Structure 1
Amino acid sequence: MTDDTPEDGVRQDDSAQPDAPGPEAPDDLEPDAPDAPDSPEAAEEPVFDIHELPGGARSAIEAVLMVVDQPVTADELATALELPVDEVTAIIEGLEDEYAQQERGFTLRCINEAWRVYSRPAYAPAVEKFLLDGRQAKLTQASLETLAVIAYRQPISRARVSAVRGVNVDGVIRTLVTRGLIAEIGAEGEQGAMLYGTTPYFLQRLGLSSLDELPPLAPYLPDADVVDELIEQGHG
């Protein structure tokens, strides 16, 4: 009994030591620290290398320009795609020259230092014939909704119409302009956003002598301050 007691005591004292070497354990985790979700190193890693995409940066820029609904600057493209501005500018100008040489139906146009794909003016008759073919056909639901917003809130910009409807309306507005139901009637403020309103042909098609004869639908549309808030949320 006397021989066993000290050994038991030693074992109990060792296990209860408050200063036992434990603080060294966190050092074993250091190699895995960069993979932690909140690690700055992990957050800064690029999602993809644009030069590894099929066609590289050139095709990537072309793809973006095909889908934007508003002209974008070379700086905006460079920031979003993590490319030098000079490289982006050179690619855009190269694409513009290539489209012209190949006589493509579309081109790149620079408006206020911002770029976007547009149909080439030389093919306007074909585009117009397509849009006007079936002029007497019923408007789509999207066209009717957009036309209603413009009729009751004119003069109004495309951004405000989009805010009310909750969708992009560029294509619909182009169709309504081509059909002669709405027209550009001025610019808004310092930003110069184009304003749209209905035309005499619109009144003619509805059998009205003036906009005062429109049914009282306006009270059901959002107020101007609500529309402004929607626009700000969309930009955010």
Structure 2
Amino acid sequence: MTVEETAEVPPTLRRDLEAVMMVVDQPVSEYDLARALGVPVAVVSETLESLSREYTEQGRGFDLRAVADGWRVYTRPECADIVEHFLKEGQEVRLTQAALETMAVVAYRQPVSRGRVSAVRGVNCDGVMRTLVLRGLIEESGHDPESGALLYRTTSYFLERLGLRSLDELPDLAPFLPDDIEGLDDTGEHT
């Protein structure tokens, strides 16, 4: 009998996996989950498959799927219309701090790639960018000729929501920048 076979499975494993799966914004591997939770990969795999079947049987609005060498929670396809309606036209929801920061980077740096926005902010911005696209505040604007990365820009709806006629009316950032701006690269790090 191997160490993995004798490892004790915590009674909270299902709950713990659900909690982790609700916060990841990209597929996470069974190996990474097993390592983080201190249980064998086979146990994680079996538990995720069980949870996925359970969610389907119960007709939940979300689905747990194995994709891209990992697992992630997704909205069920039959719920796509209602989710889109809520995000676009539903109740007026204020933007989170992360969304506001991401919007600022896009507004002042456009056209800009997701990677560049993430580099400037210092965190992965993929989920926030998707939300801003769904809300109609930013849109795709072609590909970077050098890297091939998808580029984003603000929309006319963005200008409308801010009460601006054009991007030229965005406030100047200079008063908010540190005095020792010389020597800073594009991400705000000292060179």
The separation in 1 between residues aligned to 2:149 and 2:36, in whole angstroms, is: 24
Q: Note the C-alpha offset of 1:161.
A: 4.0
Q: Note the C-alpha offset of 1:106.
A: 0.8
- Output the amino acid matched with 1:129: H
Query: Is 1:53 aligned to residue 15 of structure 2?
Result: no
Q: Which has the larger radius of gyration?
A: 1
The residue aligned with 1:26 is none
Pick the structure with more helix per residue.
Answer: 1
Q: Note the C-alpha offset of 1:181.
A: 0.5
Distance 1:100 1:187, change over 3 A: farther
Q: What is the number of equivalent residue pairs in this alignment?
A: 174
Contact kept, 8 Å, 1:181 with 1:202, in 2: the verdict is: yes
Q: Note the C-alpha offset of 1:66.
A: 1.5
Q: Note the C-alpha offset of 1:145.
A: 3.1
Q: Note the C-alpha offset of 1:194.
A: 6.4
The residue aligned with 1:75 is 31
The residue aligned with 1:88 is 44
The separation in 1 between residues aligned to 2:173 and 2:108, in whole angstroms, is: 8
Q: Note the C-alpha offset of 1:72.
A: 1.0
Which piece of structure 1 moves more, 160-169 or 117-126?
160-169
TM-score, normalisation: structure 2: 0.66
Q: Note the C-alpha offset of 1:53.
A: 3.3
The separation in 2 between residues aligned to 1:74 and 1:168, in whole angstroms, is: 21
Contact kept, 8 Å, 1:156 with 1:197, in 2: the verdict is: no
Which structure 1 residue ranges, 5 or more long, are not aligned? 1-48, 230-236
Q: Work out which of the residue numbers 176, 180, 191 in structure 1 matches 2:136.
A: 180
The separation in 1 between residues aligned to 2:48 and 2:171, in whole angstroms, is: 48
The secondary structure found in structure 2 opposite 1:207 is coil
The separation in 1 between residues aligned to 2:75 and 2:25, in whole angstroms, is: 14
Which structure 2 residue ranges, 5 or more long, are not aligned? 1-6
The secondary structure found in structure 1 opposite 2:26 is coil
Percentage of identical aligned residues: 54
For the aligned residues, what is the CA RMSD? 3.9
